[in-house]
Amino acid sequence: MEPKDIKYHQAKWKYRGKERPPFALPTTEDQESVWDYPRPPVMNKVQKEITVHSLNQVPIAHTANAIRILETASPPTVYIPPKDVDFGKLNKVHSSSFCEWKGEAEYWELKEAPGRPIAWSYHSPRSPYEGIKDYVSFYPSRTICVMNGERVQPQKSEFYGGWVTKAIVGPFKGEPGTSGW
């Protein structure tokens, strides 16, 4: 996407984290609304224990020093430092996608079950997201992701990889009827 195309699409956004839409679900003290997250997205550190296993219980990653990206209408995506990922269990996939914020993503599949990406990363992220260079985010629908003992639920979309926990309230982008958000 060219910068002028990005600006065109950005100009159409109604919600940017400054006000909740009338359909936003209420939160409790210990919850965050994805409608309070900003657009453009921000990064923040997650110092919680995070583990990722294959669906066959093969350990892939373990960290207590991740980064999450928060963007209006989406559950956080959690990025794990490359030093905490067992790349010996992964193969790079020959496909990519483009995020208007972070740039070109590359995908990873599990060696034991090739054919479907389970994770993605950014080798050359755009500014100001250089802090996630080579960090890896996993799809909770295709792996077992656990944060502080809670199994992460997947975002309802095959494209998005947001991490839904009890602390996150939506509704979320990717659910039926949300394509206009």
Give the Cα separation of 9 and 56 in Å (integer).
40
Q: Which residues lie below 8 Å from residue 4, measured CB to CB, with a gap of 6+? A: none
Angle at 128 between CA 161 and CA 88, to 5 degrees: 50
103-110: strand order across its sheet: 90-99, 103-110, 113-121, 136-138
Segments making up each domain of the chain, as ranges: 3-169
Q: Residue 46's pLDDT is what?
A: 95
42-46: strand order across its sheet: 42-46, 66-71, 74-79
Q: Residue 78's pLDDT is what?
A: 98
SS3 6: helix
Q: Residue 27's pLDDT is what?
A: 97
Length of the chain: 181
Q: pTM for the whole thing?
A: 0.92
Give the Cα separation of 116 and 62 in Å (integer).
21
Q: Which residues lie below 8 Å from residue 55, measured CB to CB, with a gap of 6+? A: 113, 142, 143, 144
Q: Residue 3's pLDDT is what?
A: 57
Q: Residue 8's pLDDT is what?
A: 73
pLDDT in tens, 44-81: 999 999 999 999 999 999 999 999 999 999 999 999 99
Query: Is the CB of residue 126 less than 8 Å from the CB of residue 40?
Result: no
Give the Cα separation of 20 and 93 in Å (integer).
38
For domain 3-169, the CATH architecture is: Beta Complex (2.170)
Query: Is the CB of residue 158 less than 8 Å from the CB of residue 105?
Result: no
Q: Which residues of the chain have pLDDT under 70?
A: 1-6, 9-10, 179-181
Q: Residue 92's pLDDT is what?
A: 97
Give the Cα separation of 172 and 145 in Å (integer).
19
